[in-house]
Chain A
């Protein structure tokens, strides 16, 4: 995965935009902060999300983290593998550990998100 191709949020999600489809996951930095992921509550397919709306929850043993929709759109697919193997988020945050896909309302919205360089600059300063 070419990390430069992705866009990022201050809440540590990444977005891979292909046409109107955006695949969403959390960054390597975020998975390290969360530590061992033990459970993932995925969004329902078909759910319409606003940008920055809480879409789903990632749980570690001692904490629960909201994952936010980076851009507005409708959930079209979720990563079913995570139901039995939540550890994929730790092992492969950008590939096998992706979370869900959105049909984006307005692809231009993604352009307002952070680039890799920008994200690297802020990732230690912003909490999850």
Chain B
């Protein structure tokens, strides 16, 4: 284990910064005594070389897309083209200020404006905001819009319907907007249980939040009927774009009857995950909801781009400035590079790769929902559990083979769930290797289960004492 940087000591006098011109006491004279810092913060004192070594060594303890395959369901860990990083870091786009006059940043505004249009075309919506910083932030935005819309029509609706297979952010976002969360069951087909929906759908439902394909990787084939039913009760239909990778160029949420859509640019549109962020969660809406979008939208007038000045029905602002511009521009460049044909190739190859894995793994794992899947599928390690090895153990053993674990124990409705999403960017060779690895793990389960139960063996640390971490929180050095 590497010592922490706080335990390393070398020389650093801060001389990468110029020396202040005035004497310290003179400079400080303008600062009232009572407002001055009394004790210096105990930051590390290390040379530049030691900083470089420290963080380079740390980086080498990570799995990442550049070195590992991530069959991580619902997370869409695809390849992140390097040119996108270069474009985002270019002076023209990273060295501009959000409060510059509009005529000084027409290039940036063009990117934002065109991105609003491109995402509208891809999803079949009428307008987009690029402000939300992440998927959950987008959900929050969409639910605020839902509420503002109903309020503008003089009605109050208190409930949000959410399928039991949904991501945890859905109910958490609904709660943040004061909604009561009502769960909808999944039926034997793995789809929204129409009878349960029918029973719970009433005039008090503000919206139904759906992920389509669902987290089981199945397309909601009755989506048009569901949309009609929700709209008939005056409710809205919300699209969680976590799984949009399955649909790009094939069909569009807007055409299915969805009124609000959020996308995850860090999933579908190649923004690197950055060890947990930053992402971007743009929100698209149908025409009637446009006035409620967060301030400010970018408009085009004549040949110039400008922010909308007046938006009285807007839900307000969800953050400062205009969103994670550095993420948005990556996705913008990605969409330009792919073009219409390349975009269609996303869903096509994602679906091919997922079905290929599903077919190849069917003799190893139980598949609770047989038949073709979209971009991902859920396998169950129930039969392995009978032999004393659980999904978590298999996930950990995969790490020894340099493969990141799939999403396990989610969705909650499948026992010993392993959610597998290969994405479109992986080669058949990589998928075949993954199948071989799982086959070898299956053999170990039969012959030497201890090896799997004690995995991982080759990572910088083995399984950790999470109980101790939570009971006696050690969250910083003192």
Contact = CB atoms under 8 A, between A and B. Distances in A.
| A and B in contact, CB less than 8 Å | yes
Interface string A51-62: 000000001010
Interface of B: 466-467, 469-471
A36 B468 CA distance: 10
A86 B472 CA distance: 11
Interface in A15-57: 36, 38-39
Nearest to A36: B467
Contacts of A86: 471
Say what secondary structure dominates the interface of chain B: helix
Contacts of A36: 467, 471
A13 interface: no
Given A36-B467, A39-B470, 11 more contacts: A36-B471, A38-B467, A38-B470, A39-B471, A59-B470, A61-B466, A61-B467, A61-B469, A61-B470, A86-B471, A87-B471
A82 B467 CA distance: 15
Contacts of B469: 61
A115 to B, nearest CB: 32
A111 B470 CA distance: 38
Contacts of A61: 466-467, 469-470
Contacts of A59: 470
A36 to B, nearest CB: 4
Interface string A82-96: 000011000000000
Interface in A86-121: 86-87
A70 to B, nearest CB: 25
Nearest to B468: A38
A39 B470 CA distance: 8
Nearest to B471: A38
B444 to A, nearest CB: 25
Nearest to A86: B471
Contacts of A38: 467, 470-471
14 contacts: A36-B467, A36-B471, A38-B467, A38-B470, A38-B471, A39-B470, A39-B471, A59-B470, A61-B466, A61-B467, A61-B469, A61-B470, A86-B471, A87-B471
